[in-house]
């Protein structure tokens, strides 16, 4: 049997699965940015007509799945498993949504890195022959994240110079054996890295070392340099975290070039009141399944390294004075 | 687990990284924030002075006017919160919106509005004072202690 | 004139709070607690009474004035009723405000929904 791994932590899919279809559903603030043109559905009401924001977040995820299945003309019964995650306690958005579709469900939690985590797992199942079709889905919502991790919505709070803004939306990718242009070829699973940052307003600085570690491991495993990719995208480091990542990579001797961008920065470029950029599971999902995938389908780019970053703290851990453990998971998309 | 040497090395790495991060994290615009907090906070207090003066013009002493003035300002803060205006003031003015008593009202009403979705008893009722609670607890603790000491040492 | 003094003193107290938020690790709730305790202590030292006489609302409206009002009410009633007054007086000046906040807060929350 041929090995399906290179180096210590990089999966190489032997028959790379393809992304059969993908869908992105974005909230109101996300629709104001320059990225809006790449999203499939723009929802002007962040409450989606629902009574609670938690229900609204589920509607975002549901719609993403429906659009992804619809554009591939696939019925829920034909999907063998769904890998989904979100930011809420006990990942209620994912499990409640999965119940509605009746697809066998694996719930994942990697905070905002769940997008890459779910795509990695779905692709592994398809490549391994355990699934013909598998869904990878993630969502986040400004209101649900804010009230779970921070303060009530109406509270008077001035954002810090490093604060980020949780993206409202959901992204879904249907992974299969054939019928799509973009292949998932490799994935690098990250280690949990904690460099002792404790301030929950400093997610970018907390997550940057995890991103650096995973990117470095990926390049070392595959023997490539950053220039191999048309785009290297981190999930939600924001402007501050992205700058730190550049410094860290330069220190390691593999500086990132102009092909590096961050989904959090792209998401809210020119949108007022969003701090140093977007964050949340939907941030990397919207940019990857919208902006990157569509440009790959249009032959504008052919190789992308998506590094979704996640901060694995809980309100309890930071109230108890613990620092913020972080993770970054990478997937390679190629046409 | 890690040996003492490895622990020391990890601590050094963390310290080094935190210095790097601190050098890149932008400093808050302190002067801008102070000026805005000063002006907005000052304006809210000026409104409060108008309320005190209105009560005092009806023959109340300043002591008598204190309670109804605080209540009036709290009512104003509550209504602005209900209109979804106060958090925008807070986003703009920081401590200028948080420190006046209107901000205290905001913390109570904001929590009530937010947590009612978990029910009126366990949500709104239980969590209304999630931020104002510490202010009340430590205000009453320190206020009573201070009064006790003054009272014991009264001349 | 009293308006100008209220503006200047109230504004200064808020600006000090902003400096605390921007230069220390205190979160906004920590900062509010620090101010309410500081107000009570300054009241005990007799300083805050003088500040209220001078600045009126400029000293009463900031949350430090809330701490002062609790200490002052407590002391006032203690002088009248003895040790019981320490406790009955704590909310002498602030009870009306707290009741207002709970009553109208609940009413408003019945009809208003959060909008980010």
The C-alpha atoms of residue C52 and residue C40 are separated, in whole angstroms, by: 13
- Average pLDDT value over all residues in chain A: 95
Name the pLDDT band for B71 (thresholds 50, 70, 90). very high
In a domain, B137, yes or no: no
The C-alpha atoms of residue A152 and residue A193 are separated, in whole angstroms, by: 30
SS3 A116: helix
**pLDDT mean over A83-105:** 96
Size of interface B-C (CB pairs under 8 A): 287
What single string gives the DSSP state of each residue in B100-144?
A: BHHHHHHHHHHHHHHHGGG-IIIIIIHHTTTTHHHHHHHHHHHHH
pLDDT of A56-66, one tens digit each?
Answer: 999 999 999 99
Interface of B with A in 40-79 (CB under 8 A): none
- Any idea which residue has 């938020």 for tokens? C21
- Average pLDDT value over all residues in chain B: 94
Q: How does strand A278-279 pair with strand A165-166?
A: parallel
% pLDDT > 90, chain A: 92
CATH of A183-334, one of 3.40.50.300, 3.30.830.10, 3.30.365.10, 3.40.47.40: 3.40.47.40
Model confidence at A1: pLDDT above 80: no
Contact B142 C22 (CB under 8 A): no
At residue C56, φ and ψ (nearest 5 deg) are 55, -120
Decide if B65 touches C, using CB distance below 8 A: no
**pLDDT mean over A268-291:** 94
In a domain, B95, yes or no: yes
CA A193 to chain centre: 18
Cβ atoms of A75 and A69 closer than 8 Å: yes
Rounded to a whole number, what is the distance in Å from the CA of A34 to chain B's nearest CA? 24
Comparing C-alpha atoms, which of A326, A307, A239, A219 is closest to residue B14? A326
Rounded to a whole number, what is the distance in Å from the CA of C26 to chain A's nearest CA? 10
Question: Which pLDDT value is given to residue B155?
Answer: 58
In a domain, B133, yes or no: no
SS3 B111: helix
Model confidence at B3: pLDDT above 90: no
**Which chains neighbour A (Cβ–Cβ under 8 Å, 3 or more pairs)?**
B, C
A111 or C25, which is more confident? Answer: A111
pLDDT of B4-56, one tens digit each?
Answer: 888 899 999 999 999 999 999 999 999 999 999 999 999 999 999 999 999 99
The conformational region for residue A7 under phi > 0 = left, psi -120 to 50 = alpha, else beta, is: left
In a domain, B135, yes or no: no
pLDDT of C39-85, one tens digit each?
Answer: 999 999 999 999 999 999 999 999 999 999 999 999 999 999 999 99
In a domain, B124, yes or no: yes
pLDDT of B96-111, one tens digit each?
Answer: 999 999 999 999 999 9
Question: Which pLDDT value is given to residue A202?
Answer: 92
How many angstroms separate the Cα of A125 from the Cα of each of A281, B13, B87, C69? Answer: 21, 38, 46, 66
Dihedral, CA atoms, A182, A187, A192, A195, nearest 10 degrees?
Answer: -70
Question: Which pLDDT value is given to residue B101?
Answer: 96
Residue B47 belongs to domain spanning: 4-128
% pLDDT > 70, chain A: 99
**pLDDT mean over A102-109:** 96
Decide if C101 touches B, using CB distance below 8 A: yes
Dihedral, CA atoms, A28, A34, A36, A37, nearest 10 degrees?
Answer: 150
Question: Which pLDDT value is given to residue B1?
Answer: 61
The C-alpha atoms of residue A225 and residue A219 are separated, in whole angstroms, by: 6
Comparing C-alpha atoms, which of A12, A296, A334, A299 is closest to residue A183? A334
In a domain, B85, yes or no: yes
Question: Which pLDDT value is given to residue A273?
Answer: 87
* Helices B101-115 and C28-44, packing angle to 10 deg: 140
Rounded to a whole number, what is the distance in Å from the CA of C111 to chain A's nearest CA? 13
Q: Name the CATH superfamily housing domain A5-176.
A: Stage V sporulation protein AD (3.40.47.40)
In a domain, B55, yes or no: yes
pLDDT of A319-331, one tens digit each?
Answer: 899 999 999 999 9
Q: What is the DSSP letter of A12?
A: E
Question: Which pLDDT value is given to residue A160?
Answer: 87
At residue A328, φ and ψ (nearest 5 deg) are -140, 130
Question: Which pLDDT value is given to residue B60?
Answer: 92
The C-alpha atoms of residue C102 and residue B85 are separated, in whole angstroms, by: 19
Q: What is the DSSP letter of A300?
A: S
Q: How many domains does chain B have?
A: 1
Name the pLDDT band for B63 (thresholds 50, 70, 90). confident
pLDDT of A119-171, one tens digit each?
Answer: 999 999 999 999 999 999 999 999 999 999 989 999 998 888 889 999 999 99
* Helices B86-93 and B62-82, packing angle to 10 deg: 100
Model confidence at A108: pLDDT above 70: yes
SS3 A151: coil
- Select the residue from B115, B126, B139 to test the C interface by mutation, using most C Cβ atoms within 10 A: B139
């Amino acid at each position: 049997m041929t090995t399906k791994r290179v180096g210590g932590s990089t999966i190489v899919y032997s028959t790379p699965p393809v992304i059969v279809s993908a869908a992105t559903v974005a909230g109101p603030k996300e629709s104001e940015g320059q990225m809006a043109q790449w999203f499939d559905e723009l929802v002007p009401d962040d409450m989606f007509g629902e009574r609670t924001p938690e229900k609204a977040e589920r509607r975002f995820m549901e719609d993403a799945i429906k659009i992804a299945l619809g554009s591939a003309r696939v019925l829920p019964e034909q999907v063998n498993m769904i890998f989904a995650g979100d930011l809420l306690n006990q990942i209620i958005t994912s499990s409640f949504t999965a119940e509605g579709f009746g697809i066998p469900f694996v719930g994942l939690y990697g905070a905002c890195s769940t997008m890459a985590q779910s795509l990695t797992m779905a692709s592994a199942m398809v490549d391994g022959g355990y699934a013909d079709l598998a869904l990878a889905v993630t969502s986040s919502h400004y209101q649900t994240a804010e009230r779970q991790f921070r303060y009530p919505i109406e509270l008077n709070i001035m954002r810090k110079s490093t604060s980020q803004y949780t993206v409202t939306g959901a992204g879904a990718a249907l992974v299969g054996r054939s019928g799509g242009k973009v292949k998932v070829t490799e994935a690098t699973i990250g280690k949990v890295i904690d460099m002792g940052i404790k301030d929950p307003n400093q997610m970018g600085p907390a997550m940057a070392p995890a991103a650096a570690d995973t990117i470095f491991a990926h390049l070392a495993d595959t023997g490539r340099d950053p220039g191999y990719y048309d785009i290297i995208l981190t999930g939600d480091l924001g402007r501050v975290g992205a700058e730190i990542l550049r410094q860290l990579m330069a220190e390691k001797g593999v500086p990132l070039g102009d092909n590096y961008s961050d989904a959090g920065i792209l998401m809210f470029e020119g949108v007022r009141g969003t701090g140093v950029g977007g964050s949340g599971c939907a941030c990397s999902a919207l940019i990857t399944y919208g902006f990157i995938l569509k440009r790959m389908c249009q032959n504008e780019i052919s190789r992308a390294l998506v590094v979704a970053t996640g901060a694995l703290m809980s309100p309890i851990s930071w109230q108890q004075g613990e620092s913020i453990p972080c993770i970054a998971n990478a997937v390679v998309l190629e046409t | 687990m890690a040996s003492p040497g490895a622990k020391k090395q990890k601590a050094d790495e963390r310290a080094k990284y935190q210095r790097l991060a601190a050098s890149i994290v932008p400093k808050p615009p302190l002067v801008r924030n102070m000026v805005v907090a000063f002006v907005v906070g000052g304006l809210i207090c000026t409104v409060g002075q108008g309320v005190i003066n209105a009560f005092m013009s009806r023959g109340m002493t300043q002591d008598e006017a204190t309670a109804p003035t605080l209540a009036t300002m709290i009512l104003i803060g509550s209504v602005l919160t209900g209109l979804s205006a106060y958090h925008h003031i807070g986003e703009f003015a920081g401590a200028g919106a948080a420190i006046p008593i209107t901000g205290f009202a905001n913390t109570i009403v904001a929590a009530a509005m937010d947590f009612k979705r978990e029910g009126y008893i366990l949500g709104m009722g239980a969590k209304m004072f999630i931020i104002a609670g510490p202010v009340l607890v430590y205000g009453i603790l320190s206020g009573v202690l201070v009064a006790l000491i003054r009272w014991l040492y009264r001349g | 004139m009293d308006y100008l003094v209220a503006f200047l003193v109230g504004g200064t107290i808020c600006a000090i709070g902003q400096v605390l938020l921007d230069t220390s690790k205190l979160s906004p709730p920590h900062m509010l607690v620090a101010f309410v305790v500081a107000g009570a202590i300054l009241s005990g030292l007799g300083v805050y009474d003088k500040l209220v006489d001078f600045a009126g609302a400029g000293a009463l409206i900031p949350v430090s004035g809330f701490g002062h009002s609790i200490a002052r009410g407590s002391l006032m009633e203690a002088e009248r009723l003895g040790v019981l007054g320490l406790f009955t007086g704590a909310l002498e000046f602030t009870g009306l405000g707290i009741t207002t906040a709970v009553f109208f807060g609940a009413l408003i929350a019945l009809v208003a929904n959060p909008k980010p």
